Amino acid sequence: MTTSTFLAPVTVDVGALAPEDVVAVARDGAPVVLSEAALAAIDLARAVVDELAAAPTPAYGISTGFGALATRHIPTEMRAQLQRSLVRSHAAGSGPEVEREVVRALMLLRLSTLATGHTGVRRETAQLLAALISHDITPVVHEYGSLGCSGDLAPLSHCALALMGEGTVRDATGTLVPAAEALAAAGLTPVELAAKEGLALINGTDGMLGMLVMAIADLRRLLRTADIAAAMSVEAQLATDRVFAPELQAIRPHPGQALSAANLVALLADSGVVASHRGPDCNRVQDAYSLRCSPQVHGAARDTVEHAATVAARELAAAVDNPVVLAEEGRVESNGNFHGAPVAYVLDFLAIVAADVASISERRTDRFLDKARNHGLPPFLAGDPGVDSGHMIAQYTQAAIVSELKRLAVPASVDSIPSSAMQEDHVSMGWSAARKLRRSVDGLTRVVAIELLTAARALDLRAPLQPASATAAVVALFRYSGIEGPGPDRHLAPEIETAVQLVASGAVLTAVESVIGELA
């Protein structure tokens, strides 16, 4: 994927990046530019580093070794080698290649920290990192290597290696090439790292934070889509919508719950299916929990996502490095801000959210398939039950994914393996938490897509009763996209994949909002 010439550059300043900036650079290929204020802050911090580097007193990260080797004073003539050795030795990742969007987010967030003027790099080093992003040169980063404390050392080291013209990258066409070749083709010159720069480039929580920001964006969309799926299930299973009334939500005032319930009310507002059994003689006031409690579960998930967003916003405003330059005071101080615990915890929280929302979605789907519970629909929604199996195995697929999501919900952040000769004796495992959350978000997308697929078929089977205009828009989108309605069995996997793409792209949400306006 090449950088789009139609995207305006994201300005990296001394202030915090917005989450949408991260998504624009990581996923949409937006270029970046360092502001004049950022360059001034970088220059000011670099002057402090240069002064300390020239002083006879050792300064950690500038004229000493690192980690457990910090007691050795490094003479001036060996400091360039010190920086090269640091990056080369720490670029020790292994395993599958990490996704392009993750690496771009990681580079952007490291650049954002450099722009704060607390790291001490030279402006040409920061500008080269910005140029790699803008030229869509993506270093190869591997799955394994980060403990989430001293930040994402191995992943960031692979990026720093590319700045030195070493290692392997993917160019703008996605081709795997040596870093030196890609830089030369883009008219860029590798940098020779000076004092403090190697450490400044690799000592941050940028990978896990980038994955958190993107997961939050995905989950906000997915939770609104899950409300759509729940509404379609409530509707097609002849459940009551009375339990979603705002006065009932008000007596348990969780904000996410109220928003989710409001969405359900709006989605079902003009449903002919619901109207067919709504009235004083309706005795459907005790629907199954998976239907009745959808706002409570989806709402709790929303509130958790917003807590994670608060943490992400604080991290986006942070300068994560060790040691940090306090330019106005003319000093460099060691600190523990590189510890990934704040990010790791919420990454784990969100994996729990994904597992539980998927779990309730699968339970709603399963009710469609059981003739004892689906209120008059054919078993498994099959065209000719016995000859046809309908959506029987689609639910198996959901169940397999949900089981996997429950395993992924086991927190990574409660684990810690000491490293660096016991100097780094407690680590966050935040990178691992982020990697499993990405799989969790993908799994939730698939589970919700299958619920929508099944609910759409069930609504067709309720004809001549008419669904709500919002839910009818989803059915129409599916049919327009090549997902057929009820009938004899056919190859189901392609239809599931189409539904997954419609959910992941936001097309389902767009179809609904084009009819009833923006969901909460």
Q: How far is CA 460 from the centre of its chain?
A: 34
Does residue 423 have a pLDDT over 90? no
Does residue 460 have a pLDDT over 60? yes
Note the helical H segments in 317-391.
Answer: 341-369
Q: Are residues 79 and 168 in the same domain?
A: yes
Which tokens hold the place of 479? 């049919």
CB 460 within 8 A of CB 486: yes
pLDDT confidence band for 54 (50 / 70 / 90): confident
DSSP codes joined into one string, 236-267: HTT--SGGG-HHHHHTS--HHHHHHHHHHHHH
Confidence at residue 243, expressed as pLDDT on a 0 to 100 scale: 93
Q: Classify residue 400: in a domain, yes or no.
A: yes
Q: Are residues 342 and 361 in the same domain?
A: yes
CB 520 within 8 A of CB 261: no
Does residue 53 have a pLDDT over 90? no
Which residues constitute the domain of residue 149?
Answer: 10-204
Q: Are residues 159 and 16 in the same domain?
A: yes
Q: Are residues 409 and 328 in the same domain?
A: yes
Confidence at residue 137, expressed as pLDDT on a 0 to 100 scale: 98
Does residue 482 have a pLDDT over 50? yes
Distance CA 478, CA 467 (A): 15
Does residue 1 have a pLDDT over 50? no
Q: Which of 187, 204, 221 is the last residue of a domain?
A: 204
For 217-255, what is each residue's pLDDT tens digit?
A: 999 999 999 999 999 999 999 999 999 999 999 999 999
Q: Are residues 148 and 246 in the same domain?
A: no
Confidence at residue 33, expressed as pLDDT on a 0 to 100 scale: 96
Distance CA 361, CA 294 (A): 9
Helix (H, G, I), strand (E, B) or coil at 92: coil
pLDDT confidence band for 2 (50 / 70 / 90): very low
Distance CA 164, CA 112 (A): 20
Confidence at residue 188, expressed as pLDDT on a 0 to 100 scale: 98
What is the pTM assigned to this prediction? 0.95
Q: Average pLDDT in the 78-100 region?
A: 92
For 337-365, what is each residue's pLDDT tens digit?
A: 899 999 999 999 999 999 999 999 999 99
Q: Classify residue 3: in a domain, yes or no.
A: no
Give catalytic status of residue 60 as yes or no: yes
Does residue 38 have a pLDDT over 80? yes
State the Cα angle at 36 between 35 and 40, rounded to 5°.
120
Distance CA 289, CA 363 (A): 9
Confidence at residue 115, expressed as pLDDT on a 0 to 100 scale: 96
pLDDT confidence band for 513 (50 / 70 / 90): very high
Confidence at residue 97, expressed as pLDDT on a 0 to 100 scale: 98
Nearest alpha-carbon partner for 460 in 381, 375, 389: 381
pLDDT confidence band for 283 (50 / 70 / 90): low
Distance CA 87, CA 82 (A): 9
Q: Classify residue 46: in a domain, yes or no.
A: yes
Q: Classify residue 469: in a domain, yes or no.
A: yes
Q: Classify residue 328: in a domain, yes or no.
A: yes
Q: Classify residue 30: in a domain, yes or no.
A: yes
- Residue 380 is classified by DSSP as G
Does residue 3 have a pLDDT over 60? no
Q: Classify residue 269: in a domain, yes or no.
A: yes
Does residue 461 have a pLDDT over 70? yes
Give the CATH number of the domain where residue 380 resides. 1.20.200.10
Distance CA 6, CA 276 (A): 50
Does residue 107 have a pLDDT over 90? yes
Q: Are residues 461 and 412 in the same domain?
A: yes
The residue annotated as part of the active site, out of 60, 144, 289, 345, is 60
Backbone dihedral angles phi then psi of residue 293, each to the nearest 5 degrees: -100, 15
CB 166 within 8 A of CB 135: no
CB 431 within 8 A of CB 152: yes
Does residue 5 have a pLDDT over 70? no
Q: Please identify which residue in the block is written with the tokens 């106005």.
A: 328
Does residue 23 have a pLDDT over 90? yes
DSSP codes joined into one string, 150-180: SSSHHHHHHHHHHHTT-SEEE-TT--EEEHH
Which tokens hold the place of 305? 């996502």
Name 77's Cβ contacts closer than 8 Å, sequence gap at least 6: none
Confidence at residue 57, expressed as pLDDT on a 0 to 100 scale: 80
Distance CA 155, CA 435 (A): 13
Distance CA 140, CA 152 (A): 14
Give the CATH number of the domain where residue 62 resides. 1.10.275.10
Residue 114: in which H helix or E strand, if any?
helix 100-114
Residue 430: in which H helix or E strand, if any?
helix 430-461
Structural domains counted in the chain:
2
Q: Classify residue 5: in a domain, yes or no.
A: no
Q: Average pLDDT in the 369-384 region?
A: 95
Q: Are residues 195 and 306 in the same domain?
A: no
Q: Which of 160, 176, 204 is the last residue of a domain?
A: 204
Q: Are residues 172 and 219 in the same domain?
A: no
Does residue 90 have a pLDDT over 80? yes
Confidence at residue 60, expressed as pLDDT on a 0 to 100 scale: 77
Q: Are residues 258 and 192 in the same domain?
A: no
Confidence at residue 421, expressed as pLDDT on a 0 to 100 scale: 79
- Residue 462 is classified by DSSP as T
pLDDT confidence band for 281 (50 / 70 / 90): low
Q: Are residues 159 and 81 in the same domain?
A: yes
For 287-318, what is each residue's pLDDT tens digit?
A: 999 999 999 999 999 999 999 999 999 999 99
pLDDT confidence band for 257 (50 / 70 / 90): very high
Distance CA 326, CA 303 (A): 36
CB 49 within 8 A of CB 331: no
Distance CA 199, CA 82 (A): 10
Q: Which of 188, 204, 220 is the last residue of a domain?
A: 204
Confidence at residue 258, expressed as pLDDT on a 0 to 100 scale: 98
Percentage of residues of the chain with pLDDT beyond 90: 83
Q: Average pLDDT in the 60-81 region?
A: 76
Average pLDDT, the chain: 94
Handedness of CA 166, 168, 172, 173 (dihedral sign): positive
Q: Are residues 136 and 244 in the same domain?
A: no
Does residue 285 have a pLDDT over 70? no
Q: Are residues 324 and 442 in the same domain?
A: yes
Neighbours of 387 (CB within 10 A): 9
Which tokens hold the place of 116? 């704060």
